[in-house]
Amino acid sequence: MKTACIPVYVRDAMFAHSLAELPNECCGLLLGKQAIERAVPMRSIPPASDAYYMDPEQQIAVFNGMQATGEQLLGIYHSHPKGPLEPSGMDLQLAFYPDALYVIISLADADRPEIGAFRLVSSAFARVDITFVEG
């Protein structure tokens, strides 16, 4: 399976968003033209500690903006405030974008967040290695 390349500044933005939303899960989109270039924090409505539901109005606005800028949806991220780093059954049910990278941030130890990446393969998640790149 291919390695996912995530800029360090995008990783840091996801960590900051995850910590800011505690005790609830955070969620967001990873956008770029050919590679992940930015994380877009999304509102979860309603906020919950064990699930996320992206605000549909905000999603429409972001997708309309993507058309204007030529960006693509390359990934979706969310946090697990109390862990684990593995996707849940609900994560699989909400995986509507088969070409997207799914990123989970575990805050089981909020002082040392962990990050994992997954792709959908045959209706299941498969772990993907991550390389964090500068720039």
Superfamily of domain 4-133: Cytidine Deaminase, domain 2 (3.40.140.10)
Q: Count of CB atoms within 10 A of residue 20's CB?
A: 10
> Where do we find the tokens 């998640």?
125
User: Residue 106 above 90 pLDDT?
Assistant: yes
Rounded CA separation 78/46 (Å): 14
pLDDT per residue as tens digits for the range 38-84? 999 999 999 999 999 999 999 999 999 999 999 999 999 999 999 88
Average pLDDT over residues 82-89: 90
Residue type, 22: L
Q: Residues 52-57: contacts with CB within 8 Å, 24+ apart? A: 52/25, 52/26, 52/27, 52/78, 52/94, 53/27, 54/27
Residue 16: both structure tokens together: 């900051």
Q: What pLDDT does 123 receive?
A: 84
Give the three-state DSSP class for 61. helix
DSSP secondary structure letter of residue 54 = B
Kindly indicate the confidence band of residue 29, based on its pLDDT and cuts at 50, 70 and 90.
very high
Residue 64: both structure tokens together: 């309309």
* Dihedral over Cα of 25, 17, 117, 94: its sign: positive
